[in-house]
């Protein structure tokens, strides 16, 4: 019978658009209840790293951390949660969550609207409707990169996030 993983991240979920600060929460355990959460930009550069406490050796507990990130250099990035090996300092039980940085898309970032693609829509047309500028289609593309492989091909019924 399998049990709970040593670390789980319940917020943010994969591909969520996060704000500043990034609020991280979940359930975990580690040596003396200690592990680390870290945010990296899309190039792998560390933006911030912070220790968290949850549970203890063999005891799972809730954790929450607020990580101030400012405006990252890239729109895409990752959140990582991991234990630090007491033997050599390496990362153990690492959980990696792909995220999108709202402040890198649009500043100030206040959240997103949802838009369901209709026949004849294009990203530039949607950008014109929301931002008054067709060239801002890239904001919508970056916010939805997990579901759009080609910015010239969106599909009727897709629900897109439109940063506000």
pLDDT at 134 over 70: yes
Percent share of the chain, pLDDT over 90:
83
pLDDT digits (tens, 9 = 90+) for 80-115: 999 988 899 899 999 999 999 999 999 999 999 999
pLDDT at 59 over 70: yes
Establish whether domains 7-104 and 111-163 are of one fold. Answer: no
Fold of the domain built from segment(s) 7-104: Immunoglobulin-like (2.60.40)
Provide the token pair at 124. Answer: 């530039």
Cα 120 from Cα 110, distance rounded (Å): 28
Give the residue-averaged pLDDT of 32-51: 94
Give the residue-averaged pLDDT of 39-60: 92
Cα 134 from Cα 121, distance rounded (Å): 12
Q: Give 136-155 as a DSSP string.
A: GHHHHHHHTTTT-SSTT---
Ranges assigned E (strand) in the chain: 7-11, 17-18, 22-28, 34-41, 46-53, 61-67, 76-84, 91-101, 112-116, 159-163
**111-163 — its CATH code?**
3.10.350.10
Q: Which residue has tokens 């607020």?
A: 66
Cα 159 from Cα 38, distance rounded (Å): 30
Cα 90 from Cα 69, distance rounded (Å): 24
In the chain, where are the structural domains located? 7-104, 111-163
Cα 13 from Cα 11, distance rounded (Å): 5
Nearest alpha carbon to residue 81 among 18, 24, 146: 24
Q: Poorest-confidence range of 8-22, 45-59, 118-132? A: 45-59
How confident is the model at residue 86, as a pLDDT? 86
Sign of torsion, CA 47 18 15 62? positive
């Amino acid at each position: 019978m399998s049990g709970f993983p040593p670390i789980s991240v319940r917020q943010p979920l994969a591909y969520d658009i996060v704000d500043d600060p990034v609020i991280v929460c979940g359930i975990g355990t580690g040596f003396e209840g200690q592990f680390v959460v870290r945010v990296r930009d899309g190039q792998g550069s560390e933006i911030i790293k912070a220790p968290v406490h949850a549970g203890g050796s063999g005891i799972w507990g809730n954790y929450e951390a607020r990580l101030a990130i400012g405006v990252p250099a890239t729109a895409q990035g990752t959140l990582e949660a991991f234990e630090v090996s007491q033997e050599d300092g390496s990362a153990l039980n690492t959980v990696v969550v792909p995220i999108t940085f709202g402040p890198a898309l649009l500043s100030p970032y206040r959240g997103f609207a949802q838009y369901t693609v209709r026949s004849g829509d294009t990203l530039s047309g949607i950008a014109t409707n929301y931002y008054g500028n067709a060239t801002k289609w890239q904001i919508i593309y970056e916010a939805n990169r997990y579901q759009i492989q080609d910015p010239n091909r969106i599909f009727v019924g897709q629900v897109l996030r439109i940063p506000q």
